[in-house]
Chain A
Amino acid sequence: MRGCREEDKSTAFEPHRSDHALDRESEALRGLKAGDSRGLATLVDIHQSHALRFAYTLTGNLEMAEDVVADAFLTVYERISQFDDKRPFGPWFYRIVVNTALKTQRTAARSRQREARMVALRNQTTSDLSLEAGVIQQETQRMVMAAINELPAPQRVVLALRYYLELEEGAIAGIVGCPVGTVKWRLHQARKSLRRRVTQEHIDGVSKTKGEIG
């Protein structure tokens, strides 16, 4: 990723994975390296769901997210010989997803897409959720996502990795190719910006809701 040249080697990243899935993944990787394209289908089967949702958090556009993930898998297919099979596949793959997503966004018409995204979000918010589900919470989430979309790309990436994939900072560092300290700094800056952008009123609202539930 831009701005980071040093790669953290601590990559404890195998979220939501069973032993069976890991075995399938290892077998698929071996096959793919040996030229068996069926391995790609297996990798897609294992990883596409998480990858797609993660890409969506970065792009805010389902079609673009699908393109990003498809491109990422094709990159895996093309560069599988570069993959070090002594290391976990996840960080390597998600790094490709991140880079592909950022590259895709750079080449897209940013302002137009952002506007479309916001309109879609607004429509979804008003049409899909019932008022009973909690107007305040919906409005807060809408504001939060809108605020996140305004953050610089490096901060958006670490936020999505932290709060959507729920990765530890060390694992995030492995994916984005930055030292853990840089990841912490980006998370800190992102939170600081979000605090500024999301009004105190909404934070209070969530706090109150949580207090009542919990």
Chain B
Amino acid sequence: MNERDVLDTMLTESYASYVARGVPAHTTVWPRIQARLSEAMKPVAHEPSRRARLPQLVLRSALILLVVVAGIAASAVASAQVRAGLHRVVQDAAASVGVSFSPETGKFGVSPATKFAVLQPRYLPASLTFSEASNIPAPVPGRKLGQWIPTLSKYPPCSPTSGGKQPCPGAELATHFPASWQKLVDENVDAVWFYYAALPPQNGYVGISEHATILGRSLVPGGTRVVVSGQDFLITHEGMVTTIGFTFRGTDVVIDTNLSQSEGMRVAESMIGQ
């Protein structure tokens, strides 16, 4: 063997030996990738529990509703075929939470009003006390939602980032939300808001990213309406009591997650000034 051959052999063997000793045979990076995706997108790999799926259905309905109405409003953007498909989806989703939806009018059966709809599942799994809830500080405009929400996360009914806990269902929703829909939403949503009531934090879910900026807040009967920027709203966060809603092209759509129907209607009406 000449010197070059020896060196080549030495290098090849050294690398092989080094790697064989340093990297276990079945090492996988997939968990790390999932964890990072969770950080960025909060995807969930496993099936949410039955209980956790309820707000997911609400959110799914809300988002589908949003897209449908946005799609109707922006007919130049969405083709008739796409709209027809979305109508079918939203009809199914609305039916799953006990309301009807008319593709012709774009309205939901639960409310005769044209400006909003209320999707109303009864969802009251609260295990917290009023006193705990009343300690929650007020949201501060200009700050990121995530700077405020962590004060609530000590009541985690779910956690997208910590292993072993119940996953947040909305994260799955975000994962499966098509990019084309996101574009529609981005182009049409003015703001996302939620109702921060002086009620115990229940297992509601907010369809808003913690990166969204708090734009403002206003007192409404029984609580505070918090408005955040319309981007990045698809990812949910846990631990909020809320009615959530979206404003697009000046129209509010209200989705109640855990108030009774009459309460939800009242809140919705107060929010849009009726």
Which A residues are closer than 8 A to B by beta carbons? Answer: 35, 37, 40-41, 44, 48, 52-53, 56-57, 60, 62, 65-67, 69-71, 73-74, 77, 120-121, 124, 128-129, 137-138, 140-141, 144-145, 148, 159-160, 162-164, 166, 191, 194-195, 198, 202-203, 206-207, 210-211
Contacts and interface: CB of A to CB of B under 8 A. Distances in A.
Contact of B7 (A52, A60, A77, A195): A195
Contacts of B19: 53, 56-57, 164
Contacts of B29: 44, 48, 52, 66, 69-70, 73
B6 interface: yes
Interface string B160-186: 000000000000000100110000000
Interface residues of B, number: 34
Contacts of B12: 163-164, 166
B18 A141 contact: yes
Contacts of B4: 191
B23 A141 contact: no
Given A37-B175, A60-B22, A162-B11, 9 more contacts: A40-B33, A44-B28, A44-B29, A53-B19, A56-B23, A62-B27, A164-B15, A207-B1, A210-B1
Nearest to B33: A70
The prevalent SS among residues of B at the interface is: helix
A191 B30 CA distance: 35
Interface of B: 1, 3-4, 6-19, 21-24, 27-30, 32-33, 36-37, 40, 43, 175, 178-179
Contacts of A141: 10, 13-14, 17-18
B23 A52 contact: yes
Contacts of A137: 13
A188 to B, nearest CB: 11
Contacts of B8: 163
Interface of chain A, main secondary structure = helix
Given A57-B19, A141-B14, A207-B1, A35 B32 contact: no
Contacts of B28: 44, 48
A191 B7 contact: yes
A41 B37 CA distance: 12
Contacts of A53: 19, 23
A63 to B, nearest CB: 10
25 contacts: A35-B179, A37-B175, A48-B28, A52-B29, A56-B19, A56-B22, A65-B23, A66-B29, A70-B29, A70-B32, A73-B29, A74-B37, A129-B21, A141-B13, A144-B11, A148-B11, A163-B14, A163-B15, A164-B16, A191-B7, A194-B11, A195-B7, A206-B6, A207-B6, A210-B9
B7 A145 contact: no
Contacts of A160: 15
Contacts of A44: 28-30, 33
Interchain residue pairs A-B with the least CB separation, the first 5: A70-B32, A144-B14, A164-B15, A163-B11, A141-B14
B11 A159 contact: yes
Contacts of B179: 35
A58 to B, nearest CB: 11
Contact of B9 (A35, A60, A162, A206): A206
B151 to A, nearest CB: 30
Nearest to A200: B3
